[in-house]
Structure 1
């Protein structure tokens, strides 16, 4: 009986909107892959879908995805977590500090602990004292940056091969490729065939030179979905983000679930930070998070507070980030054409739905993209560097109309307030 009542707040979709089914999502992904393949054949930019590009993109997507998962746990319980960036920073520092002394797996565990400490602090401030969630999150970010800078000055500076801004090297966790499958997909990708080679490049990136921590991060996406949507624990936690007063009336300890959610949120972000300082780079470096906590938050919003959509968003942002590392100017120039085509398709869709003003604006932007592509041979390196952040803004602006956050997200709660 109580489970039925608790599930009602999130059961009904927003009026006039249909939830995208898995076949529709897969069809959209297939369509984008086909368009990408066409653009690759037109431009000759084979690097946009090769195995190395996809492998790098996956590595860069992991910390973004883990930060986004952290945000998902907190916000599904009704706590906005702007402090993900600071929790990532704590994860990088604790991970490297423990990793170079006691080994990389100890560093991973301590990275989780470091992020969880940030989550606990955020929970105390927001849940117990009802401080504004945005203010608390910003304070966590500032505190984490200052605390790690101070700690580095007397911890790493006196260590061998360390400085006040960089830790000593951390031993590698190692990597693995699936024998036979990795080589076969790489060979198929090198053929340059329409769509088949692009799919091979995408799949090849998932099975080539993968860190064990990457595998754990990928597994956390379905695990999160199962816990939050298929267990009584997850039902109670989500009820705290939809209607905490109703949840309390049915015997749910709202404070406990909010605390657990935010601590788990910090731990996941800390795991993302440990990935940065142990796998992505085998050392801690001041400023190495590079705003990935904020981008993870954007990926969560893009995914409409759902794990699957979040994973797609993290992959998109990781891919654009990877362009900086692998001959990005030619690839970004080719993606100008892809963006122009996608915008044109979007404009047609808006016209079909009789939304003429947005359609006109989309056509104008598409025309500018076509013009930019036609009148240049490559883009400046500054554009490549800015691409992940531009994509973040574009994705959020284009997806804003279909979003539906948990109803009580960010709202103050006091026990007994519904009495």
Structure 2
């Protein structure tokens, strides 16, 4: 058995996987096709906001905490520890992030404090699951509950009585500021305002990605390729992944499985804490009780959608962040335009299933779904407000259901491990 077989949980004599490898040209082609679909939907519906710079900027801000939480889940689960406690670790990150920024009058101190708050939650989870062998789900749920109650207690203890603070919120947090690529902001805005097919859409997307971007956002984006490199290009990452695939085999090769699981869970908590700190420092500029709003769970869903890989996780986070941003900005009009995009995507998937995969039944079901979505789009002019607020969560369910056939979690994910066991 080679190191690659060990890290991927395969037998040495197993047949090679037929799953096509996702290359950079394929990713770029997919992004281009998605832009074309959005441009078509914008022209047909007149919902110009779906590719505007403001919508893209808001989507980026919404995707960052989800992506950081998902990245935290990725590190833990690649080491074989299920981390349902991401939400609680994010909650700790929101409070500690705001406290650190206010206490030291520096938003970057808040970033560090938020990460430390998440690490504390990760340490509790690692102690319970790795050291004492507690069920991973039970430990994660307990951390979510304790994290919420602990931050409520700290808010009453520290923020209550401060100017602008209270029992459920902090005073305003020092601003981190933003960065822009100089010289292109006004031309891109002008071009986007002309509403030309595809050209204005590309200009709007570029405007949202290059203007008024928080340095914290740039840091979060850089953590994705960094995690990819560490987990798949270093000996350290190979050992972490081996602990999540074949811990007994890893132990037989001299790997300290307990140590690597601990490290991975601490990193997981730190990343989730960073996601929480982003919410209080950048997204809102203040800490509020209940600020995470279930983003830890959505981050976990983004990780599963990404098949436990950083690239797919980033794509899932962008998708969830985009739908969340649209429902917050223009609600029913923009979400209604997305129905046309969904119908076209489902039709394309049905054709692919029929022609390339020869899955007639799956193609029929997907095709019927495309027709139903298109009919709903054709007979309505907007989407009820009650539905738009549910859009990010519905997107989570739909994406996971469509992606379930290709998912492969780490082989020993969530499996209790005791040193010296034989299987």
Q: TM-score range by the shorter chain?
A: over 0.9
Q: Counterpart of 1:403?
A: 407
Change (3 A) 1:90 1:13: farther
- Select which of 307, 310, 319 maps to 2:313: 310
Please list every run of 5 or more consecutive structure 1 residues that lacks an aligned counterpart in the other structure: none
Q: 1:27 is paired with a residue of what secondary structure?
A: helix
Q: Counterpart of 2:141?
A: 138
Q: Give the CA deviation at 1:154.
A: 2.2
Please list every run of 5 or more consecutive structure 2 residues that lacks an aligned counterpart in the other structure: none
- Deviations along 1:93-121, one digit per CA (max 9) or x if unpaired, are 11112222212211111100000000010
Change (3 A) 1:137 1:13: farther
Distance 2:279 2:80 in 1: 28
- Deviations along 1:291-310, one digit per CA (max 9) or x if unpaired, are 10011111111111111111
Length, aligned pairs only: 419
- Select which of 354, 362, 367 maps to 2:371: 367
Q: Counterpart of 2:43?
A: 41
Whether the 8 Å contact between 1:89 and 1:273 is mirrored in structure 2 is yes
Q: Counterpart of 1:358?
A: 362
- Deviations along 1:193-238, one digit per CA (max 9) or x if unpaired, are 2222222222221111111111100111111111111111111111
Distance 1:14 1:152 in 2: 54
Change (3 A) 1:72 1:179: same
Q: Counterpart of 2:210?
A: 207
Distance 1:13 1:157 in 2: 62
Q: Counterpart of 1:382?
A: 386
1:168 corresponds to 2:189: no
Whether the 8 Å contact between 1:161 and 1:168 is mirrored in structure 2 is yes
Q: Counterpart of 2:421?
A: 417
Distance 1:252 1:186 in 2: 54
Q: Counterpart of 1:128?
A: 131
Whether the 8 Å contact between 1:61 and 1:314 is mirrored in structure 2 is yes
Q: Give the CA deviation at 1:183.
A: 2.8
Whether the 8 Å contact between 2:7 and 2:246 is mirrored in structure 1 is no
Whether the 8 Å contact between 1:245 and 1:418 is mirrored in structure 2 is yes
Whether the 8 Å contact between 2:93 and 2:118 is mirrored in structure 1 is yes
Distance 1:31 1:139 in 2: 43
- Deviations along 1:34-70, one digit per CA (max 9) or x if unpaired, are 1111111111111100111101110111000000110
Q: Counterpart of 1:105?
A: 108
Q: Which is worse superposed, 177-186 or 12-21?
A: 12-21
Alignment of 1:256-275 (within 5 A): 256-275=259-278
Q: Counterpart of 1:79?
A: 81
Whether the 8 Å contact between 1:6 and 1:236 is mirrored in structure 2 is no
Which of structure 1's runs of 4+ aligned residues deviate more than 6 A?
A: 10-14
1:225 corresponds to 2:225: no
Distance 2:418 2:186 in 1: 58
Q: Counterpart of 2:30?
A: 28
Distance 2:84 2:190 in 1: 43
Distance 1:72 1:81 in 2: 9
Whether the 8 Å contact between 1:13 and 1:19 is mirrored in structure 2 is no
Alignment of 1:152-301 (within 5 A): 152-301=155-304
Q: Give the CA deviation at 1:161.
A: 1.2
**TM-score normalised by L of structure 2:** 0.95
Change (3 A) 1:4 1:349: closer
Whether the 8 Å contact between 1:14 and 1:404 is mirrored in structure 2 is no
Distance 1:14 1:198 in 2: 41
Q: Which is worse superposed, 251-260 or 30-39?
A: 30-39
Q: Give the CA deviation at 1:135.
A: 1.2
Q: Give the CA deviation at 1:416.
A: 1.2
